Amino acid sequence: MTLASVFIAFTTVMAKGLTGAFPAETSLHPLQVGFGRFLFAAILWTTIWFATQQRFGPVNVRLHAVRVVLGYLTSAAIFWAASLMVLADATAISFLSPVVTLFLAALILRERVGWRRVMAVAVMVTGAMILLRPGTSAFQPAALLALFAALTGGGESIAIKMLTQRERLLQILFINNVLGMILATAIASLVWVWPTPMQWLQLASVGLGMAVAQLSFIWAMRQVEASVIMPFIYTSLLFAAVMDFWLFGDLPDRWAGVGAVVIVVGGILLAWQESQRGRRRA
């Protein structure tokens, strides 16, 4: 899970660099970075799919379409936010996606929302308000992009949960990345600037880095209970802050740091509560 956190931070740092922070003749639009993320991930999963001679099972086309659109919006929004603000702040705000997942699970999957889960969500929202500080001069409009990524990411989590109950994991990853590549290519063509050879390598690192993060995350979740392993995903805040400062000299301010810590505490409480519910259900 820590390895997943490293690569999550790495991909957002690379996105920030490609969209203007790295010295280059021309910077790339965040939508082009999203294209690179899906292109090279699709190449990887397609290679694995055919190398292992996989066959399709039943495919829920409508659910895949929803997941692809939400996944694309999530990655595009977080890459765009990363290009405009401190990475640790953008990452912390995107961690609000479990809040959205919780409410959508109650509405769509008819899951029960107890008071303990509500309290954990309240802690996370409080942390977000500290970090965002709406109505003050410290508020950054770019933070709305990270907040949008949290909203779409929460919806994507519900779609993934529903898909995993119907289809095999490799089939989900293969279909998602191929369809995502098609969508990302169409949208990136509207803002296309031809990348340099170095930028192509950096785009490849974004796509392959995200694939490594996905594999590490899934493998970790299969080995240990979520309440034990999930807190480690929040180390991506630390990695993002260190990489952002090392490469670009950016650091979150004191209040942003406090808000990020509160969000993490709420996220850990929510993960623990979900684990307890799972045990009682079992």
The DSSP string of 56-118 is -----HHHHHHHHHHHHHHHHHHHHHHHHS-HHHHHHHHTTHHHHHHHHHHHHS-----HHHH
Which amino acid, 103? F
Residue 230 DSSP class: G
pLDDT at 138 over 70: no
Listed range (142-156, 158-172, 221-235) with the worst mean pLDDT = 221-235
Domain ranges of the chain: 2-281
123 CB-near residues (< 8 Å, 6+ apart)? 262, 265, 266, 269
What's the average model confidence in pLDDT over 203-230? 79
Question: pLDDT category, 226, cuts 50, 70, 90?
Answer: low
Tens digits of per-residue pLDDT, 62-82?
999 999 999 999 999 999 998
**This prediction's pTM:** 0.81
Query: How many Å apart are CA 187 and CA 192, to the nearest integer?
Result: 9
